[in-house]
Structure formats: structure tokens, C-alpha cells
Amino acid sequence: MSPNLLEKEAHAPKLAQSIYNALTTAASRYENHSNQFSSLFQMSSRFVSFPESITGFLSELSVNNCTLRFLSGAQCSSGRGLRFPRTRRGRTLMCSGSNSHSWNVPVLSSNEVVERLKLVGEGKQLLAMYSSVVGGITTDPAAMVLPLDDHMVHRGHGVFDTAMIINGHLYELDQHLDRILRSASMAKIPLPFDRETIRKILIQTVSVSGCRYGSLRYWLSAGPGDFSLSPSHCPKPSLYAIVYQKDFNVDRIGVKVVTSSVPIKPPEFATVKSVNYLPNALSQMEAEAKGAFAGIWVDNDGFIAEGPNMNVAFVVNGGRELVMPRFDNVLSGCTARRTITLAEQLVRKGMLKSVRVMDMTVEDGKNADEMMLLGSGVLVKPVIQWDEEVIADGKEGHITNALLDLLLEDMSSGPPSVEVISNCVLTHGSICFQSTL
């Protein structure tokens, strides 16, 4: 059928239906007949009009790197409709209807996408990223992307962890690595590599970044595959890691917290550091709306649980005992566990009588001598008010400050940590690096 005939007769319902049938038939066979399908769209500068809205059409069709998006139910009347005009830098989908304004969607080349991603990444301190999907490290923020069909992206089937970079050292990397491997096992995510290979990849990514102070965040995912609920069609799990600059501005200013009304995660999921942080984000938003620093979750039995991304601790019994909620139903924080170990020094000095992990009610917590938040993002943060109750005299406690001092000293010269040497040498696509334990 000639273009002239199409242009003259496209308003006829019979012809419109024929075009519709041809398009849907070609779309269903697109994988094996891409050339035939592409030829149907050669008249890209002409109108193809239909007497009424066309429903049931495929939401996305790809033609030679050009994505044509059709709105189901879009009003298209005679003399108006879908048009695919050529523009100076590619194609643009134009649609107009009797009840809507015209709109344009640019169809970008891969180079144009990269250019726009670079604009989005400007000002962000993203220093290096590893992706097992591409099998390497990039230092270009525009290339730090994930496949949309990764099961972690569209189903939340992934776990993550974070290690701090302090003066070129990865603080407690092995403890964090052990935790993400436990989380992956509980989430039924197989490992893409063995533990030692993952460890080397993480160290090398930080080494390439040249970061001295910042964070290393890394994910294990069921991997790319399709958009199904089950990961059965994901052929291989994924590992991603990113290094970003972060200044650790430690302050000792006390903050206010509130009791979170957002439902707490079930115990079987609370102990997994998964990417599903919707309850955590909602809890934090609720706290900020009330002028508080963070929300505190209480479990179904009325015991204190944790904050949205941090643990809590208390000093009780006249300032003589450090107490933390049990880790059975909350995330086992690496900072919290390290703080417990460091607190033994205060016991030896006579500043504390004991350190215990036990159940605590909200009433017990609000009547404590000191309250603090513990986590990699806050280190040790004093709390001076919970809801409307002021903690003790409303001032930062001396045990809280002493624990922060111990943690800061530990981070700079404490336990064995991974020292990353940033002067890497690039040789034939490989990166030589060093690390010491």
C-alpha cells in the first residue's frame, strides 16, 4: 500500500483496523522479524489517524533503538493522531487529541543519554563503582547505573552493607562482609563469587577511587533477568559496590527522638539488611515532620527495638550500667557490637559496673540516666529527649561522650583494618593495587 493512499484513506475505520492488525502482528513477531517490523514505520513524518482510541496495544515497542510509547486509551480523531517526525537530533514522539494538549517525548541516542546522565551526576561525590554485570570498575558517575530488570530494582530482592573509609582504611570490613553474606543467605541470594573474591573486589574498588574519607556501600542481588516475581529467570546474581565521599562531622549535640508509629518489620526480616527500606524511610520522615532526629521502633511485645538505621543504648542504675536491646529481633549493628566491646574498657576503669543486652520497655528507656543512638552514620549520638520526656537532666551524658571517644580512637588506630593504597597503576585494562591488614 502506497504512502499516498495511507495518507488519504487513514481516516477510514476499516483501513485503521487493518493498520492496527498489521502493527500488532508485527510486534508479536518482532524478535524474529525486526526488519519487517521496522519497515512499517518508514512513514515517520506522516499522520496515522484512527477513528477512536485503540486499547490493548503493546505499551512499548522498540524499533532500531527508537522506543515508541503508546498510551492506551489516548484520544485520536480524524486529522489528528500519532506522528513520528524527524528532529535534528533523533526522533520525537508527538501525540495530540481533541481533549489534550500536544506533547513531545525526545528519543535519545546512547550518547545523548550519557550526556544527560553526566549532568545529573554533577556535584555528587561518587568516586568509583564496581558492577559484576559489566565485570569492572568505572570512575565515571554517568556510567554508575543498574539494569532495570535487576531483581533488586523492581522487586527489592537484594541485600546491602556499608563500611566506612577512615584515613584510607576500611573500618571493620570483614565484620560488615560477614553480615552481608548472612543476609544474602537468609534472602536466598546465591553468591556471584566466593567470599575472598568479593573482599578483593571491594578493596580494589576503594583503591581505584583514591578515597581517604567516605563510605563503601555494596549490594548482593538476585541479578538481572526479567520482571517476574520469582528470580528463577535471573541466570546469575549480581554484586555492585560504590565509593562516595563523605565528611564525618562528629558532634556531641544531643537530639530528640520520637516513638515511631510506622509498623515495625517482622522479626524474620528485621535481622536481614535488605534493600527494602520503605518502613525505615517512612519512620524517618515521620520523625522529621515532628521536629525530631529519628524515630524509635517498639516491638509487638512493648520492648524497645531500634531506630530507622541505627541501634539504641541506655545508661541505667545511676549511670553504672550500659544496656542495649537484644539483637534477636533487630538488625545486629556492627557499630553497636563494637561499642559493647569498647565499653569493657570503661568497666575496667570503674566508670561502668557492667554491660548487658536485655529487653527494655519504653518506660525504662525514658527513665534512663543516658540514651544514645549507635550506627555508622552517627557513630555515638546522645539523645536528650524522647517524645515529651526529657532524658535525665536534658544534657549529654559523660558515658556517651566517653564511648564516642573510644570509638573515634578505635577507628583511627584500633583493630586490624584494611589499609587501601590509592596510588594504583593501570596496565592493559588491569589495575594493580596493594592492601595491608
Edge to edge, what strands does the sheet with 418-420 contain? 136-138, 126-131, 238-245, 213-221, 158-166, 169-170, 418-420, 435-436
Indicate the pairing of strand 82-83 with strand 90-97: antiparallel
Positions of E strands within 317-414: 321-324, 354-357, 370-375, 379-386, 389-390
Question: What long-range pairs does 174-181 form, CB within 8 A, spacing at least 24?
Answer: 174/199, 175/334, 175/337, 175/338, 176/334, 177/202, 179/273, 179/332, 179/334, 180/218, 180/220, 180/273
Helix pair 398-413, 334-348: axis angle to 10 deg: 110
Distance in angstroms (rounded) separating the CA atoms of residues 22 and 33: 13
Name the β-bridge partners of 364.
Answer: none
Asked whether the beta carbons of 399 and 322 are under 8 A apart, the reply is yes
Dihedral pair phi/psi, residue 183, rounded to 5°: -60, -40
Distance in angstroms (rounded) separating the CA atoms of residues 411 and 420: 14
Asked whether the beta carbons of 259 and 386 are under 8 A apart, the reply is yes
CA angle 69, 71, 75 (to 5 degrees): 135
Q: How far is CA 394 from CA 120, 320, 354, 402, in A?
A: 43, 18, 24, 17
Name the β-bridge partners of 373.
Answer: 312, 381
C-alpha cell at 194: 566466593
Q: Is 200 a catalytic residue?
A: no
C-alpha cell at 336: 553497636
C-alpha cell at 378: 552517627
Q: Is the dihedral of CA 282, 245, 223, 142 positive or negative?
A: positive
Distance in angstroms (rounded) separating the CA atoms of residues 153 and 168: 31
Catalytic pick from 256, 273, 366, 381? 273
Instruction: List, by residue number, the catalytic residues.
Output: 273
